[in-house]
C-alpha cells in the first residue's frame, strides 16, 4: 500500500508539472480497442485514484449487460504518458476496471486477465517473470476510402510509395518495386522521418524501442520493435504505441493501419512475440548445447504453444482478415512447427543464441487485431501448460523442420498440423481446447464464452455482405 501511495503522489506531482490541460483515463474493451474518459486538470488529484471514475460497461464491447452496467475506472499511477493531439496537451493513464459497488476487479477486464496469468506463473514455481517482445508491423497509406451501401461496396487504397493510385496507371519516381521494401532507404522509403517521429514519441512515453525499419511490402509497410517487458506491461506498451503511431500518422497526412492483410499479393502485417522466462535473475530458456542453445524447459514451452496453437489463434489472430495473411509465400506461418531461424515455422528460434540473455523463442502467427492483454496471457498459459505436462514438441510431431515448410509436398506435409483457415475454425478449436486457459483463474468460462460470442457475431455480420470479387466472378452466372 505504501508503494502505491508513493506512486500516486509521484504521478500527481509529475502530471501537474507537465503543463497539461486534461487527464485521459484509458481502458481496453474485451476485443482490445481503447476508450477514454477525459477530466480537466482542475479535477485531478488523490481522489481520482481513490474513487476512480464511473462509466457504463453495457456500452462497451464484451463488458456488461444493460441491467448491470455500472463499472469504475481506476488509473494505474505507474503507467501514464504525456501526449499532444491537435495542439491540446494532456496526460493519459491506463486504467483497471472494477465493479462499481464492491471495488473488486472486473472479471472481463483484459488487463486483469493478463495480471492473473502473470500471478499464476509465479505460483507454479516455474519462473518469477515472463518477458515478451513484440514486433509491430503496419502500413502507412496516403489515403484509404471505404464505401458501402446496398448498391455500392468496396475500398480504395492510395500509396504513392508503391505507385498505387486508383485513378492512374502512372508511377512517380522514386517508387518501391513490389515486395522489395525490406530495409529500404530514403528517398524510396518515404516515411523514414515519420517513423523516427513515432519512435521519439514512444520513447518519450516510456516505451523503449529496439529499432525501426521499412518492411518487405512496398506500400509503406513498416516495423517498430519494442524491447521486452512483462506480459501486462508489454500489452500496455502495444496499445500506447498503436495509439501514438496512428495519431502521428494522421498529423503527417497519412493513414496508419495494423490490419493483417490490407493488400492482396503484398505481405501482411504480423505482431510476432519473442518470449522467455526468468527465475532468480537467470534466463531459464538457455542451455548451452541444447537445440538452438535452448533448455528442455524452453522446448516444453514451445510444445505447449504448438499443441494449443489452433485454440491460441482465436486470441492471437482475432479477425477474419487475419487468415488472409496466414497463407504460403509471405513469411506468415501456415503450419504448427518449430525450427532454428525458419520464418515459415510458427515458432522460430533465432539463430546465433550464444549468451543466456539472448535465449528466446518467437511466436510468429499473431497479429495486431488481437487484444494484446488476452494474447500474451493465452500464450503464457499455453507455454506453462507445456512445461507442466512436459510436452515435447519433437515427440508430438512438431519438428524441428529446418526447411521451408511452404515447399513440402503433400506426402512430406502429412501429419503436420495446419493453422486454422478461418477465425471460425479457430473459435471452434477454442471451444474444444481451453482448459489450459482456466489455470490460475486467468480466463474464466464466462470470458471464453463471451469472446466466442462477440467474434461469432463479427463473422456473421461480414458473411452477410456480398464481396466485390463475388460480383466479378458470378455476375454472369
Tens of pLDDT, residue by residue over 111-148, are: 999 999 999 999 999 999 999 999 999 999 999 988 87
Check 83, 109, 215, 385 and give the catalytic one.
215
List, for residues 197-253, the tens digit of each pLDDT value. 999 999 999 999 999 999 888 888 999 999 999 999 999 999 999 999 999 999 999
**In this structure, what C-alpha cell is assigned to residue 144?**
484509404
The structural architecture, per CATH, of the domain 129-141+191-474 is 2-Layer Sandwich (3.30)
- Judge whether 458 counts as a catalytic residue: no
pLDDT of 67 over the 50 cut:
no
358 in active site:
no
pLDDT at 85: 86
The domains of the chain are located at 18-106, 129-141+191-474
Give the strand order in the sheet containing 70-85.
Answer: 34-40, 22-28, 88-99, 70-85, 53-56
CA distance 171 to 35: 40
- Residue-by-residue DSSP string for 255-316: EEE--S--STTS------EEEEEEETTEETTB-TTSGGGB-HHHHHHHHHHHHTHHHHHHHH
Q: Is the dihedral of CA 230, 232, 236, 242 positive or negative?
A: positive
For this structure, is 449 an active site residue? Answer: no
CB atoms within 10 A of CB 116: 20
Average pLDDT, the chain: 90
Q: How far apart are CA 366 and CA 368, in angstroms?
A: 7
The CA distance from 315 to 426, in Å, is: 9
Query: Is the model's pLDDT at 467 over the cut of 90?
Result: no
Q: Is 215 assigned a catalytic role?
A: yes
Fold annotation for 18-106: Ubiquitin-like (UB roll) (3.10.20)
Tell me which of 111, 243, 272, 360 is the catalytic residue. 272
| Cis peptide leading into residue 400 (ω within 30°) | yes
214 catalytic? Reply is no
Element (H, E) at 131: strand 129-141
b/e string for 91-109 if b means 16 or more Cβ within 10 A?
Answer: bbbbbbbbbbeeeebbbbb
Q: Which of the residue ranges 166-175, 384-393, 401-410 would you say has the lowest mean pLDDT?
A: 166-175
Please say if 118 is a catalytic residue: no
Q: Please tell me if the domain spanning 18-106 has the same topology as the one spanning 129-141+191-474.
A: no
* 272 part of the active site: yes
Amino acid at each position: 500500500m505504501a508503494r502505491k501511495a508513493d506512486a500516486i503522489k509521484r504521478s500527481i506531482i509529475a502530471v501537474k508539472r507537465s503543463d497539461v490541460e486534461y487527464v485521459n483515463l484509458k481502458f481496453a474493451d474485451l476485443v482490445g480497442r481503447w476508450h477514454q474518459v477525459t477530466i480537466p486538470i482542475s479535477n485531478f488529484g488523490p481522489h481520482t485514484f481513490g474513487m476512480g471514475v464511473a462509466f457504463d460497461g453495457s456500452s462497451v464491447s464484451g463488458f456488461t449487460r444493460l441491467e448491470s452496467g455500472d463499472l469504475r475506472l481506476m488509473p494505474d499511477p505507474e503507467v501514464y504518458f504525456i501526449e499532444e493531439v491537435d495542439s491540446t496537451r494532456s496526460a493519459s493513464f491506463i486504467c483497471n476496471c472494477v465493479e462499481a459497488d464492491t471495488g473488486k476487479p472486473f472479471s472481463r477486464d483484459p488487463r486483469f486477465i493478463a495480471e492473473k496469468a502473470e500471478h499464476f506463473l509465479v505460483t507454479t514455481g516455474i519462473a518469477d517473470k515472463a518477458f515478451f517482445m513484440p514486433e509491430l508491423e503496419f502500413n502507412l497509406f496516403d489515403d484509404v476510402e471505404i464505401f458501402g451501401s446496398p448498391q455500392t461496396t468496396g475500398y480504395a487504397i492510395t500509396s504513392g510509395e508503391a505507385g498505387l493510385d486508383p485513378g492512374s496507371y502512372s508511377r512517380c519516381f522514386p517508387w518501391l518495386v513490389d515486395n522489395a521494401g525490406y530495409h529500404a532507404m530514403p528517398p524510396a522509403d518515404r516515411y523514414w522521418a515519420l517513423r523516427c517521429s513515432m519512435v521519439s514519441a514512444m520513447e518519450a512515453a516510456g516505451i523503449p524501442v529496439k529499432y525501426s525499419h521499412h518492411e518487405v511490402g512496398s506500400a509503406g509497410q513498416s516495423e517498430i520493435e519494442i524491447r521486452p517487458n512483462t506480459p501486462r506491461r508489454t500489452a500496455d506498451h502495444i496499445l500506447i504505441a498503436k495509439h501514438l503511431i496512428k495519431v502521428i500518422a494522421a498529423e503527417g497526412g497519412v493513414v496508419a493501419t495494423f490490419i493483417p492483410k490490407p493488400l492482396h499479393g503484398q505481405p501482411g502485417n504480423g505482431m510476432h512475440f519473442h518470449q522467455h522466462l526468468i527465475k532468480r535473475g537467470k534466463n531459464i530458456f538457455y542451455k548451452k548445447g541444447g537445440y538452438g542453445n535452448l533448455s528442455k524447459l524452453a522446448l516444453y514451452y514451445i510444445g505447449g504453444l504448438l499443441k494449443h496453437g489452433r485454440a491460441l489463434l482465436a486470441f492471437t489472430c482475432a479477425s477474419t482478415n487475419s487468415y488472409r495473411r496466414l497463407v504460403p509465400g509471405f513469411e506468415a506461418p501456415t503450419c504448427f512447427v518449430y525450427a532454428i531461424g525458419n520464418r515459415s515455422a510458427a515458432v522460430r528460434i533465432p539463430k546465433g543464441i550464444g549468451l543466456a540473455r539472448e535465449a528466446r523463442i518467437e511466436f510468429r502467427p499473431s497479429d495486431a487485431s488481437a487484444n494484446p492483454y488476452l494474447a500474451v496471457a493465452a500464450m503464457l498459459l499455453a507455454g506453462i501448460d507445456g512445461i507442466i505436462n512436459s510436452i515435447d514438441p519433437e515427440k508430438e510431431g512438431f519438428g524441428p523442420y529446418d526447411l521451408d515448410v511452404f515447399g513440402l509436398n503433400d506426402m512430406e506435409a502429412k501429419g503436420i498440423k495446419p493453422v486454422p483457415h478461418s477465425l471460425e475454425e479457430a473459435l471452434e478449436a477454442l471451444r474444444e481446447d481451453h482448459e489450459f486457459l482456466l489455470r490460475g483463474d486467468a480466463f474464466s468460462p464466462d470470458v471464453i464464452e463471451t469472446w466466442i460470442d462477440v467474434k461469432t457475431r463479427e463473422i456473421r455480420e461480414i458473411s452477410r455482405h456480398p464481396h466485390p470479387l463475388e460480383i466479378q466472378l458470378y455476375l454472369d452466372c
